[in-house]
Structure 1
């Protein structure tokens, strides 16, 4: 009863934490469509503005991000956020407080425009204004006018011409590999936090529903880490090969698909169990035994170490192998135990009251 109550409490904590990670407020967003969308001079749009139209003209003020899928985009006004434009022609002669990310036939930044970054896919790009941060430009023809001022680096892909008087405070880097497109809507750390809570939730379910089995997995991994890691490596190599062999035949395709799904779930559970083993081991160094704290600590440590280049990837890989091997060995031991159970009572029954033979 106490164990079940602890499980319910742990699940509640996870749900509350997950809800707390969701932003309390969502910025207002306005969507406009039509032949021509105009934000008139003196007009203010509070929040983000998304436009799908033949053209967009911003003469007023947008207190948020502007996303435009239009034939032409003209911003002589003010955008107090980012400007993301996919259009035939993009003209920025006003103020953009954030970044400008434009894929267009022509991108022109006139003098006085304030932008964070500039990106363009193709066509002609002419910079003759003020760019307070980096400029990233990809076009057939790129020109820096005499009044161009770039506060950061200039990264470009195309033919660059630079007029006398054009200023670039940072480095000028020619690159054939430029990311042209909108900045990620969700920052990388959001995905990491989401993955942590999802793994934590799975771990809570595993520990609450299969407490004895989970302890067996952890105990096996700690007792035989090399054997568990070796078995995990063998399975990671052999299982995909077996699935490919099944997939070669038409009859075996459904088996291969089902097997791939089951193996993916097994890998996910193995990664969580591996982190749980790490947490349990760290707690044992302080003579502590608490499975919930071990799960939380293990996932936190693995998440932090994983962020370290190269080394973090190796640690994460070993943790996966450790969990996969220990989980598979424990499942196999349980399977063998269940197969032997039905035979033992029958043997005793056959002997009757005479007792075991010697």
Structure 2
């Protein structure tokens, strides 16, 4: 194996390992942490100042003396977990079984305050379903389809609600007022956090995927860039055809029972191909533009292209349109490259058969 090929493969392996580590539970060791990962955990007996996280699961089993801002599939303050400040959460589900000393501002599919849990400040929730079995020591404002107050629930202040209020309304010490203006939006302070963390996470994943592609398939990647620069119109039209045609075929396949598994697997595979198309498109356009400046370096083109694409995504309307066109270029160049490889392989096989004759093995 050539030394250059060995290095490329090692780089690709490192990149893929880092991607996979994003799905592994991540402990929080710093005093104040801003993190992105598959699972973020403040472990039992651990104490930190503040936590900002975007992850599949965010769990506080220990102590956060300050605020927690979290976005993910599941956000939990476990039994014994403590948040000294405020909790802001946007998630599929938010569960509080421990204690929150400050305010809670939650937007989720389901929000639950468990038995024995306490919230020291105001409680604001917008969700599909909200269940309160613990103690809310301030006022509460809840907008949900179903709001259930358990037998162990207690609300020391007033309750404003919008939705179907059920259960132990005697748990409310103050007034109970129906307020149709309540919605399910998350508090505004969480929006900037989630926006930049998600953007950073996406950029990191794109860089890792791009590094793996360039390290494993350098010639193919160069061919993608060449197709975009030499024939952008044809390449973009091919990308548009693929983007429209493949989903149509998958939907058609899903009509039959036999085709449903194929359609599901094909949908995931196509989503991955589109992701590769995004990365290749940004890389190819950057390589094209850098070529005018005499800078022909595929790694520089990858970094410039992906950062440029991330910046474009922040530009209203125009940025989205340009990124869509870049996707078409990348997807079209990818498909054209794969087709060219297949044609080359078929031509080579036919050539060997012609040389060997019809009765001699080809080695296939």
Q: Conserved in 2, the CA contact under 8 Å of 1:101 and 1:180?
A: no
Question: Unaligned stretches of 5+ in structure 2?
Answer: 33-41, 46-61, 66-75, 88-93, 150-154, 165-176, 358-364
1:336 aligns with one of 339, 343, 356: 343
2:319 aligns with one of 312, 320, 323: 312
Is structure 2 residue 185 aligned with structure 1 residue 179? yes
CA distance in 2, matches of 1:3, 1:159: 69
Aligned to 1:234: 241
With the length of structure 2 as denominator, give the TM-score of the two structures. Answer: 0.59
Alpha-carbon offset, residue 250 of structure 1: 2.2
Q: Conserved in 1, the CA contact under 8 Å of 2:102 and 2:119?
A: no
Q: How does 1:157-306 map to 2 (within 5 A)?
A: 159=178, 175=181, 177-179=183-185, 187-306=194-313
CA distance in 2, matches of 1:100, 1:139: 14
| Equivalent position SS for 1:120 | strand
> 1:270-315 CA deviation, whole Å, 9 max, x = no partner?
1110010122123123210110110011000001111222222212
Alpha-carbon offset, residue 200 of structure 1: 0.8
> 1:190-237 CA deviation, whole Å, 9 max, x = no partner?
222111111111111111111111111110011111111111111111
Aligned to 1:120: 142
Q: Conserved in 2, the CA contact under 8 Å of 1:64 and 1:82?
A: no
Question: Unaligned stretches of 5+ in structure 1?
Answer: 32-44, 54-60, 111-117, 129-135, 142-157, 161-173, 351-358
CA distance in 1, matches of 2:310, 2:297: 20
CA distance in 1, matches of 2:343, 2:290: 32
Is structure 2 residue 108 aligned with structure 1 residue 101? no
With the length of structure 1 as denominator, give the TM-score of the two structures. Answer: 0.60
> 1:95-122 CA deviation, whole Å, 9 max, x = no partner?
x5xx743567797747xxxxxxx74236
Aligned to 1:146: none
Q: Conserved in 2, the CA contact under 8 Å of 1:52 and 1:68?
A: no
> 1:64-110 CA deviation, whole Å, 9 max, x = no partner?
4569747xx9x9xx936757784599xx997x5xx743567797747
Alpha-carbon offset, residue 3 of structure 1: 4.2
Is structure 2 residue 64 aligned with structure 1 residue 47? yes
Q: Conserved in 1, the CA contact under 8 Å of 2:290 and 2:296?
A: yes
RMSD of aligned Cα (Å):
4.7
Q: Conserved in 2, the CA contact under 8 Å of 1:30 and 1:47?
A: no
Q: Conserved in 1, the CA contact under 8 Å of 2:224 and 2:333?
A: yes
Whichever of the two has the greater Rg, that structure is 1
Q: How does 1:84-95 map to 2 (within 5 A)?
A: 86-87=112-113
C-alpha distance 307-175 of structure 1, shift in aligned 2 (>3 A): farther
CA distance in 2, matches of 1:17, 1:109: 44
| Equivalent position SS for 2:316 | coil
Alpha-carbon offset, residue 23 of structure 1: 6.6
Aligned to 2:84: 63
Structure with greater contact order relative to length (CA < 8 Å, sep ≥ 6): 2
C-alpha distance 327-243 of structure 1, shift in aligned 2 (>3 A): same
Q: Conserved in 1, the CA contact under 8 Å of 2:282 and 2:305?
A: yes
Counting matched residue pairs gives: 278
> 1:172-198 CA deviation, whole Å, 9 max, x = no partner?
xx74643379968x7232222111111
> 1:10-59 CA deviation, whole Å, 9 max, x = no partner?
6699699999x99751675669xxxxxxxxxxxxx953694659xxxxxx
Alpha-carbon offset, residue 349 of structure 1: 6.4
Q: Conserved in 1, the CA contact under 8 Å of 2:283 and 2:306?
A: yes
